[in-house]
Amino acid sequence: MFSNNVAEVSEPRNLYGFWLSPFMALVAQMLKEAGLEFQYQRVSPFIGETLSTEYQRRNPLGKIPSLTDVNGVCISESQAICRYLARTYPQAAKFYPCDDAQRCAEIDTLNDYITFSLSGPFFNWLFVGGYFPKTLGFQTERESGVFSVWSMLMIKGALTRLVGRSRLQPFLLGEEPYLPDFHLFHVLELSRTFSELFEIPFMNLVEGNKELSRFYQAMAERPMTQAILAAQAHEFPVTRRELLEEFGTTYAQLLKNRPGEH
Ligand SMILES: N[C@@H](CCC(=O)N[C@@H](CS)C(=O)NCC(=O)O)C(=O)O
């Protein structure tokens, strides 16, 4: 079941992205929980680094995270990376048991639900509802406010279904965490950080929700989570500056350089 093409260790394992990205944090959690060493290589989309030729060769879709493995495999998209790790390294399969189709069906159901109903919509909320009107000067405060309220209703509704279905004991599938727990935690953590940064209290998805707070706490107590939270806190000032001060200029430059525009 497990691929053994990792025998020839020839290069370091590199994880590209930035700590505040919930998608990179998810991959880092999987790597750390599985005891797979990696080197962190900071790549920030906010200052145009995902547009470099070098990065585009790694991921032509221009998204972080991406991972280069010791066997030369280069892979992007957080879920795909985590599934690749589980299929390649037995110690990662604990969190995505890929040789158990029935267990994976349960896990995939939760993960797909979280991706479609929670993390994707939350990202749009963050950008359209919080970030764009605050920093890019698009003067869409009113429209963004309306979008924000609808997003809140949709996303909190999706969370209520998730909590109701899984009963969180304290994790989604019982006493042990799996891939969807890592995914959910890092979206919740993002909501806490950005609710504070953008001064939108109702963007915090954990606040006031007893079951989710218990889940959040259980995940936050894990030593590997604590290491990730510490790395995020350490890098926060840099990311904050990029988000609030530098991205506007990068974005304006990008628009100016679009083919066909002068
Ligand atoms: N579905 C992707 C989402 C990754 C994503 O949206 N990453 C953001 C940073 S958190 C990014 O690279 N944004 C830059 C861009 O979209 O150009 C995954 O799970 O890896």
* DSSP per-residue letters across 83-137: HHHHHH-TTTTTSS-TT-HHHHHHHHHHHHHIIIIIIHHHHHIIIIIIIIIIII-
- Does ligand 1 come within 6 angstroms of the Cβ of 17? no
- Does ligand 1 come within 6 angstroms of the Cβ of 64? yes
Neighbour tally for 80: CB within 10 Å: 13
CB contact at 8 A, 82 and 26 = yes
CB contact at 8 A, 64 and 50 = yes
CB contact at 8 A, 96 and 179 = yes
Per-residue pLDDT of the chain in tens (262 residues, 90 and over written 9): 455 455 555 789 999 999 999 999 999 999 999 999 999 999 999 999 999 999 999 999 999 999 999 999 999 999 999 999 999 999 999 999 999 999 999 999 999 999 999 999 999 999 898 888 877 777 888 999 999 999 999 999 999 999 999 979 999 999 999 999 999 999 999 999 999 988 889 999 999 999 999 999 999 999 999 999 999 999 999 999 999 888 877 777 776 766 554 4
- Does ligand 1 come within 6 angstroms of the Cβ of 21? yes
Residue 198, pLDDT score: 85
Domain 14-88: give its CATH code: 3.40.30.10
Q: Which residues lie closer than 8 Å to 70 by C-beta, 6 or more apart?
A: 6, 9, 10, 11, 12, 13
Alpha-carbon gap, residue 188 to 192, rounded angstroms: 6
Domain spans of the chain, in order of start: 14-88, 101-221
Residue from 27, 55, 63, 194 whose mutation best tests the ligand 1 pocket (most atoms within 8 A of CB) = 63
Nearest CA to ligand 1 atom 1: 77
Helix axes 179-197, 22-33, angle to 10 degrees: 140
Residue 1, pLDDT score: 45
Closest CA to 24 of 261, 235, 198, 244: 235
Taking the centre of ligand 1 as the mean of its atom positions, its distance from the CA of residue 8, in whole angstroms, is 31
CB contact at 8 A, 115 and 62 = no
Architecture of domain 101-221: Up-down Bundle (1.20)
Taking the centre of ligand 1 as the mean of its atom positions, its distance from the CA of residue 42, in whole angstroms, is 14
Specify the pTM.
Answer: 0.93
